[in-house]
């Protein structure tokens, strides 16, 4: 990855984070989880490492990205809109019944491959796609983005057993390892570590990278043995709320519905102009 490309991606991620904050009002959204996976989503769609683009949404040769942790969809909506999959104006329709820009991904939004929301589903749906592509002898990669809390779901591990048995090297599970689930730290509820060893025990090739560093993400997803017999897992270590100090690593900033004034403070904070001191409602479990 060239320095220019990395800077371009960082700039795009900054814009996406700004959109996420602006979507965190008037009903709100899953702010913290969206901010953690922003760099990963931006890297996957905009780096050029994957065969993707707004002109390819129906192109059979495209790589496939499935967002299984569907509640972080603001990061996806914003990335797709910034890349021209649909007009940026459409983000203003957030939560309106006249559009489909709601709290979980759906295929009414160009670029979304499959709907999600119920955790632990898309690993298996994506596996079916990977199997089809392999049977057809096609080289496309299939990436499914899962949350670390989502790893509580047995269906994720069941799917990895099958992926391993079917020897699907074109299958890549990307984990947004932000160390939080809805209400608390993962290790305080259902400890996941040592995560790499767990995935290896399920027959996967495992890499672990800093999920906020575009160079590291590039290395994490490059030169995977796609023709090999082992499915891949890329664990992306991230921070919940990344980029906005007052939201970072806070269990109570998972789903946020800020006042418009608070959003402006948060945007200023994102720009490094001020620290936001918020008095709004804390955690709202959806």
Both tokens of residue 144? 């499914």
Is position 131 an interface residue for other proteins (rule: CB under 8 A)?
Answer: yes
158 to 177: interface string for other proteins, x by CB under 8 A:
xx-xx--xx-----------
Query: Residue 57 Cβ, how far from other proteins at the closest point, in Å?
Result: 13
Cis peptide bond upstream of 25, omega within 30: no
Query: Residue 249 Cβ, how far from other proteins at the closest point, in Å?
Result: 31
Query: Residue 142 Cβ, how far from other proteins at the closest point, in Å?
Result: 9
Is position 201 an interface residue for other proteins (rule: CB under 8 A)?
Answer: no
Backbone angles phi, psi at 64, to 5 degrees: -115, 130
| Chosen residue from 17, 94, 121, 216 binding other proteins by CB under 8 A | 121
Stretch that binds other proteins, among 120-128, 173-181, 185-193, 240-248 (CB under 8 A): 120-128
| Chosen residue from 55, 59, 132, 197 binding other proteins by CB under 8 A | 132
Round to the nearest angstrom and report the end-to-end CA distance of the chain.
Answer: 38
Query: Residue 153 Cβ, how far from other proteins at the closest point, in Å?
Result: 10
Q: Kindly provide the b/e burial profile for residues 193-229, where b requires at least 16 CB atoms within 10 angstroms of the residue's own CB.
A: eebeebbeebebbbbbbebbbbebbbebbeebebeee
Q: By CB neighbour count within 10 A (0-12 exposed, 13-18 middle, 19+ buried), where does 62 fall?
A: middle
Both tokens of residue 186? 């993962």
Stretch that binds other proteins, among 23-31, 131-139, 246-254, 272-280 (CB under 8 A): 131-139
> What is the spatial distance between Cα 177 and Cα 199, in angstroms, rounded to a whole number?
14
Q: By CB neighbour count within 10 A (0-12 exposed, 13-18 middle, 19+ buried), where does 117 fall?
A: middle
CB closer to other proteins, 165 vs 284? 165
Query: Residue 51 Cβ, how far from other proteins at the closest point, in Å?
Result: 16
> What is the spatial distance between Cα 277 and Cα 261, in angstroms, rounded to a whole number?
11
CB closer to other proteins, 162 vs 267? 162
227 to 266: interface string for other proteins, x by CB under 8 A:
----------------------------------------
CB closer to other proteins, 30 vs 66? 66
CB closer to other proteins, 73 vs 126? 126
- DSSP bridge partners of 147: 176
Query: Residue 286 Cβ, how far from other proteins at the closest point, in Å?
Result: 17
> What is the spatial distance between Cα 267 and Cα 274, in angstroms, rounded to a whole number?
9
Query: Residue 64 Cβ, how far from other proteins at the closest point, in Å?
Result: 9
Q: Round the CA-based radius of gyration of the chain to a whole number and report it.
A: 18
DSSP annotation of 25 reads: B
Is position 182 an interface residue for other proteins (rule: CB under 8 A)?
Answer: no
DSSP annotation of 150 reads: G
Tell me the site size for other proteins, rule CB under 8 A.
26
Applying CB under 8 A, the residues found at the interface with other proteins are 107, 113-115, 118, 121-133, 135, 155, 158-159, 161-162, 165-166
């Amino acid at each position: 990855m060239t320095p220019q490309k990395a800077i371009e991606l960082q700039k795009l991620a900054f814009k996406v984070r700004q959109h996420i904050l602006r979507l965190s009002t008037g009903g709100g959204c899953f702010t913290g989880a969206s901010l953690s996976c922003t760099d990963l989503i931006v890297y996957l769609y905009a780096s050029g490492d994957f065969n993707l683009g707004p002109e390819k949404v129906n192109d059979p040769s495209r790589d496939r990205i499935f967002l299984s942790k569907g509640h972080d969809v603001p990061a996806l909506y914003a990335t797709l809109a910034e890349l021209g999959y649909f007009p940026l104006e459409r983000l203003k329709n957030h939560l309106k019944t006249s559009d489909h820009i709601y709290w979980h991904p759906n295929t009414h939004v160009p670029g979304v491959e499959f709907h999600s929301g119920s955790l632990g589903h898309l690993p298996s749906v994506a596996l079916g796609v990977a199997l089809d592509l392999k049977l057809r002898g096609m080289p496309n990669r299939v990436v499914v983005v899962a949350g670390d809390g989502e790893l509580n779901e047995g269906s994720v591990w069941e799917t990895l057993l099958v992926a391993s048995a079917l020897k699907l090297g074109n299958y890549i599970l990307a984990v947004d390892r932000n160390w939080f689930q809805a209400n608390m730290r993962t290790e305080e509820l259902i400890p996941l570590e040592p995560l790499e060893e767990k995935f290896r025990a399920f027959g996967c090739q495992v890499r672990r990278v800093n999920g906020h560093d575009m160079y590291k993400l590039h290395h994490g997803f490059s030169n995977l043995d796609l023709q090999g017999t082992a499915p891949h897992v890329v664990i992306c270590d991230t921070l919940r709320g990344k980029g906005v100090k007052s939201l970072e690593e806070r269990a109570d900033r998972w789903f946020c519905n800020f006042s418009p004034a608070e959003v402006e403070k948060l945007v200023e904070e994102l720009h490094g102009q001020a620290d936001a001191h918020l008095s709004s409602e804390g955690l709202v479990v959806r």
